[in-house]
Structure 1
Amino acid sequence: MQRIYEPENLLEAEVLIGMLGSEGIEAYLAGRDLMGGIGELPVHGLLGLAVSDEQAEYARQLIAAYNAAQPLPGDEPDHLPGILIC
């Protein structure tokens, strides 16, 4: 298993796990149970997505494409140009 990405929060982690799962990649979220300790633990680096060694490179490519996604023209509000609103 390789730790391939540190999501910013639990919501992003769940979205990425679902996306990877739809591509046949089983992902494990390390640190999920530590989220209740925020305030006692450092905020950054608690969460980490891990996948099998064989699927790590493909999973990194998928996450890079996810992070590079741009809104379709006309989908973003005028007061938030360039922001993808889901």
Structure 2
Amino acid sequence: MQRIYEPANLMEAEMLLSMLASEGINAHLAGRDLLGGMGELPAMGLLGMTVDNDQAEYARRLIAEYTSALPVLGDEPENYAGELLC
């Protein structure tokens, strides 16, 4: 098993786990149960995603593509105003 990524939070971790699973990669999230100790434990580095050695490179590439993705311009609905006025 190789540690391939440290997600920023549990939401990102769950989304990435689902993405990797959809690509046939069995990933494990270490540190999920430590989040309840925030305040007593350091805030950084608690979460870590691990995968089998033979899937590590592919998983890293998928995560790199995810983290470098940009929104698709022009994909907004027609009634999208572009800014929120409160």
Query: What is aligned with 1:78?
Result: 82
CA distance in 1, matches of 2:36, 2:82: 37
Tell me the SS of whatever aligns to 2:60.
helix
Moved over 6 A (4+): none
- CA shift for structure 1 position 75: 4.5
Number of aligned residue pairs: give it.
Answer: 80
Unmatched 5+ residue regions in structure 1? Answer: 80-86
- CA shift for structure 1 position 74: 3.1
Unmatched 5+ residue regions in structure 2? Answer: none
Task: Look at both structures and tell me which one has the larger radius of gyration over its CA atoms.
Answer: 2
TM-score, with structure 1 as normaliser: 0.87
Query: What is aligned with 1:21?
Result: 21
TM-score, with structure 2 as normaliser: 0.87
